[in-house]
Amino acid sequence: MLRFDRRLLLNFDWVLIVAVFVVALIGLANIYSSTHLYTKVGTPLYLRELTYYLMGAAVALLIVSIDYRVLLTLNYPLYIAMILLLLFALVFGKTIGGAQRWIDLGFFRLQPSEPAKLVLVITLASYYYRKETGKGFTLLDLVVPALLTGLPFLLIAKQPDLGTGLLLGFIFASMTLFVKLRWTTLATLLCVGLSAIPIAWKFFLKPYQRQRVETFLNPENDPLGTGYHIIQSKIAVGSGLIFGKGFMQGTQGQLDFLPERHTDFAFSVWAEEWGFMGSVVLLLCYFFMILWGLNIAISARDKFGVLLAFGVVSLIFWQAFINLAMVMGLLPVVGVPLPLISYGGSSLLTNLAGLGLLMNIRMRRYMGTS
């Protein structure tokens, strides 16, 4: 199993490494800028983030050294562990900002909903790999994967963390569509899904969640309340103009007008300080990284590799898109971090693990197939 081939090193994906490295540098610099004023006690946040990066790199290295196909054996143990963690968080978890999301490990506060995203990707990839597609999935074929997704979704939505919950839904939808659905199945799902929206609105969403959506549709109605985040974020991004206000010179971020400026709204800080130019550079690096991930998927040696890589890419893409659209005022405020840029250990470790999987698949693309 731990057969370490020299070919592995030859197939090392330098492009992916460089892309991740550039984005990581930007993320660290940005966290330094947005938090240097406010860390008065303890380790500065950028140093903590750097520690998470190193931890994440170690995790990724471990993942790279083991053939990804081991996940076909580990998928259900991982899934069960994830469900237990989520239950544990729900029952014993730390409440921060009104949501029970955290498990205190002493040296580290784990947010189990973050690794849950990646575990779902692994679970679905394993499931779809084993399932014969044939002419495409019927509605009945979707029951098991839907249940596999639905259980963590409910546990996470209950915290409540609607953003992460929805993200699971997006991952499920992306991967399922990728595998192949029957047209009839797709049409039925669309009809059911659309008609479910009003019901969900009425019975499923919590008042603060409904308010967020309403605020998004008309932020100026409530400029000091829930509309505040959107307005301040748009001001931060817009006032960056072409070249930005300069590193650590952003007034919106530095003067605290921007909420959650090192986590969910980290990109606003970047856009304010580096302007359109800096934002374009970051977006290009970012999307290059994502597209490169798809390239890895298509070059995988087996279908499991393709599905797994595609799942990881959809995980990163959806987080990035939802977060960026949110800080630019295109989507309601939902707590989805920007991978590698937003501060947070759980998110960073999860995403680096995912990128480790991509590297794993890439490095083994010529192996064991001959």
Partner 1 sequence: MTPRPLTKINKIDPAELKMLKKRIDIAMALIIFAAALLLTRLWYLQIYRGDNFAKLSEINRIRIQEIAAPRGNILDRNGQPIITNRPRFNVVWNREDAPNPDAVIKDLARILNEDISVLLDRIRAGTENPRYMPTRLKEDIDWETLAAIENKHLSLPGVRIEVMPSRDYLYGDFASHFVGYLGEISPAELTQSRYAKHQSGDQVGKQGVEKIFEEYLKGEKGRNYLEVDVHGFEQRQMQLQDPYPGNDLQLTLDIELQRAAEEAMADKAGAVVVMEVNTGNLLVMCSTPPLHLQEFVGGISTTAWNKLLNNPLNPLLNKTIQGQYPPGSTFKIVTALAAISEGVITPEASFFCGGSLNFGNRRYGCWKKGGHGTVDFQRALIESCDVYFYSVGMRLGVDNIAKYATSLGLGKKTGIELEHEKGGIIPSTAWKQQRYKQKWQDGETLSVAIGQGYVLTTPLQVCRMTAAVVNGGTLYRPQIVHSITAPDGKILKTFAPTSEGKILGSAHSLALIKEALVGVVNSPGGTAKSVKLPDVLIGGKTGTAQVVGLSHVEGMSEKNIPYKYRDHAWFTSFAPAEKPEIAVTVLVEHGQHGGSAAGPVARAVYKRYFELKSGISGTASEPPPLAKDEKEE
Binding site residues, partner 1, CB under 8 A: 1, 67, 69-70, 72-73, 130, 133, 174, 177-178, 180, 232, 234-242, 251-252, 255-257, 271-272, 275-276, 279-280, 283, 287, 290-291, 294, 297-298, 301-303, 306, 310, 313-314, 317, 321, 324-325, 328-330, 368-369
Long-range contacts from 170-174, C-beta under 8 angstroms, 24+ separation: 170/314, 170/318, 170/322, 171/117, 171/120, 171/121, 171/124, 171/311, 171/314, 171/315, 171/318, 172/120, 172/124, 172/145, 172/146, 174/310, 174/311, 174/314, 174/318
Query: Whole-angstrom Cα distance, residue 85 to residue 279?
Result: 37
In angstroms, give the least distance from the CB of 160 to partner 1.
27
Hunting for tokens 């087996």 — which residue is that?
302
Query: Whole-angstrom Cα distance, residue 269 to residue 261?
Result: 7
In angstroms, give the least distance from the CB of 49 to partner 1.
24
Q: Which is nearer to partner 1, 158 or 301 (CB)?
A: 301
Q: Which is nearer to partner 1, 26 or 237 (CB)?
A: 237
Q: Which is nearer to partner 1, 246 or 368 (CB)?
A: 368
The answer to whether 58 and 348 are in contact (CB under 8 A) is: no
Query: Whole-angstrom Cα distance, residue 96 to residue 270?
Result: 26
Cα 299 to chain center, whole Å? 23
In angstroms, give the least distance from the CB of 132 to partner 1.
11
In angstroms, give the least distance from the CB of 103 to partner 1.
30
Q: Which is nearer to partner 1, 89 or 230 (CB)?
A: 230
Considering only CA atoms, which of 224, 252, 219, 223 is closest in space to residue 329? 219
In angstroms, give the least distance from the CB of 240 to partner 1.
5
Q: Which is nearer to partner 1, 97 or 207 (CB)?
A: 97
In angstroms, give the least distance from the CB of 368 to partner 1.
5
In angstroms, give the least distance from the CB of 207 to partner 1.
25
Q: Which is nearer to partner 1, 113 or 314 (CB)?
A: 314
Query: Whole-angstrom Cα distance, residue 72 to residue 127?
Result: 9
Q: Which is nearer to partner 1, 76 or 108 (CB)?
A: 76
Query: Can you give the C-alpha Rg of the chain in angstroms?
Result: 21
Q: Is 107 exposed, middle or buried (0-12, 13-18, 19+ CB in 10 A)?
A: exposed
In angstroms, give the least distance from the CB of 31 to partner 1.
19
Q: Which is nearer to partner 1, 90 or 189 (CB)?
A: 189
Q: Is 368 exposed, middle or buried (0-12, 13-18, 19+ CB in 10 A)?
A: exposed
Considering only CA atoms, which of 309, 230, 327 is closest in space to residue 270? 327
Tokens of 60: 């990724």
